């Protein structure tokens, strides 16, 4: 697995990480625990060194902690704070005392002495970002946290936080069907030397081609509440899947080459900046192997231009969050 460094921080990780949320939270029933542990360990064995979790993902930190216990010192674990009582439905809470409480709890759940990367999950308008950065800075000085990160933060917040405590990475959604970070976020990250960790790099599964307008999600799957996953939006957005599928099919006609739509979507992300590290998630071993295979796929300049030209003509339909979740985005 190729390695990448997140910005100017010296924080080196595998070119593709693993988003662990879906094993416990958000996408229907949690995966069977032993299966999930074996999947995370399989990711390590295949070269993944960045694993992403959060206090808000139910029992996910405990799962990740147990799975990665045999690999201490070999992998990096990122987790997050920022919700009242760790529950997104209860609102935001980034008071310094709460940040410290979450850090102590996460250390116990993850079975580590130090959190590699500690993100603010969402910006809390009741707490100045300078206080948040200062609280994490204190934890870094105490040896309980190594690096500070932000999630879904806007340009102003990034600059203000970075002035207090250098931000190692920003985590936000970025993919072929959500390119908003290109407008203002990526230039600022490059200017400040901050790495970028895109979540949902496969459009919450849509860009794999495994979802269409007739797909039925489990009742507990949060995609049921996402406007972009309404059946009519999925039908309209099929043009994106057709685009990556076309590139994949063209590559697969080459000798000894089998490329999937998911790999094209991930390879496109990797081609945007050398300090981008996507964190696709999955509960299936064959999908894990497929995703990691994208690290070795280098799209040609012609292919990148073809994708870029096509994207300029494709309008993506549907908001990416329900209204309540959208209100928590710092833009």
CATH for 133? 3.20.20.100
The CB density around residue 17, as the number of other CB atoms within 10 Å, is 27
For residue 278, being part of any structural domain is answered with yes
Amino acid 256: pLDDT: 65
Active site residue 57: yes
For residue 219, being part of any structural domain is answered with yes
The two structure tokens encoding residue 210: 């495994």
Amino acid 324: pLDDT: 78
Number of independent structural domains in the chain: 1
For residue 287, being part of any structural domain is answered with yes
For residue 74, being part of any structural domain is answered with yes
Closest CA to 23 of 37, 2, 10: 37
Amino acid 323: pLDDT: 80
> Which residues are CB-contacts of 112 (< 8 A; sequence separation ≥ 6)?
65, 72, 77
Closest CA to 127 of 160, 101, 159: 160
For residue 331, being part of any structural domain is answered with no
Question: What percent of the chain shows pLDDT beyond 90?
Answer: 88
Regions in the chain scoring below 50 on pLDDT = none
> Which residues are CB-contacts of 122 (< 8 A; sequence separation ≥ 6)?
82, 83, 92, 151, 152, 328, 329, 330
For residue 110, being part of any structural domain is answered with yes
Amino acid 273: pLDDT: 97
Amino acid 231: pLDDT: 93
d(CA 13, CA 50): 6
Amino acid 321: pLDDT: 84
The reported pTM is 0.95
For residue 308, being part of any structural domain is answered with yes
Length of the chain: 331
Q: 3-class SS at 170? A: strand
Each residue of 229-279: pLDDT tens digit? Answer: 999 999 999 999 999 999 999 888 876 678 999 999 999 999 999 999 999
217: domain range? 3-326
Amino acid 326: pLDDT: 80
Amino acid 252: pLDDT: 84
Closest CA to 273 of 178, 198, 180: 198
Measure the N-to-C terminal CA separation of the chain; round to a whole number of Å.
Answer: 34
User: Nearest 5 degrees, angle CA 325-CA 329-CA 331?
Assistant: 145
Q: Where are the alpha helices (DSSP H) in the chain?
A: 33-45, 60-68, 96-110, 129-141, 155-164, 185-192, 231-236, 238-252, 261-272, 285-293, 301-311, 323-326
Amino acid 253: pLDDT: 82
Each residue of 22-66: pLDDT tens digit? Answer: 999 988 889 999 999 999 999 999 999 999 999 999 999 999 999
């Amino acid at each position: 697995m190729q390695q990448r460094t997140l910005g100017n921080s010296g924080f080196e990780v595998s070119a593709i990480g693993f988003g662990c949320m879906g094993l416990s939270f958000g996408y229907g029933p949690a995966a069977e625990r032993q299966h999930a542990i074996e999947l995370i360990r399989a990711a390590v064995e295949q070269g993944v060194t960045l694993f992403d979790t959060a206090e808000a993902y139910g029992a996910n930190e405990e799962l990740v902690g147990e799975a990665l216990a045999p690999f201490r010192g070999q992998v990096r674990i990122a987790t997050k704070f920022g919700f009242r009582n760790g529950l997104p439905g209860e609102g935001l809470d980034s008071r310094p005392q709460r940040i410290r409480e979450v850090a102590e709890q996460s250390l116990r759940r993850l079975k580590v002495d130090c959190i590699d990367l500690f993100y603010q999950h969402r910006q809390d308008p009741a707490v100045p970002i300078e206080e948040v950065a200062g609280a994490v800075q204190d934890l870094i000085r105490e040896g309980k946290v190594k690096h500070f990160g932000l999630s879904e933060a806007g340009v102003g917040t990034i600059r203000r936080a970075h002035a207090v405590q250098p931000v190692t990475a920003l985590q936000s959604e970025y993919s072929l069907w959500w390119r908003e970070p290109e407008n203002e976020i990526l230039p600022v990250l490059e200017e400040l030397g901050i790495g970028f960790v895109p979540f949902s790099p496969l459009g919450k599964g849509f860009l794999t081609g495994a979802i269409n307008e007739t797909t039925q999600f489990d009742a507990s799957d949060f995609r049921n509440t996402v406007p972009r996953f309404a059946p009519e939006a999925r039908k309209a957005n099929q043009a994106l899947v057709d685009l990556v599928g076309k590139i994949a099919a063209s590559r697969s006609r080459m000798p000894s080459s089998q490329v999937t739509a998911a790999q094209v979507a991930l390879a496109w992300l990797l081609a945007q900046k050398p300090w981008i590290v996507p964190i696709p998630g999955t509960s299936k071993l064959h999908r894990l192997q497929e995703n990691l295979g994208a690290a070795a796929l280098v799209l040609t300049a012609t292919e990148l231009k073809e994708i870029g030209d096509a994207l300029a003509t494709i309008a993506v339909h549907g908001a990416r969050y329900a209204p309540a979740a959208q209100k928590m985005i710092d833009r």
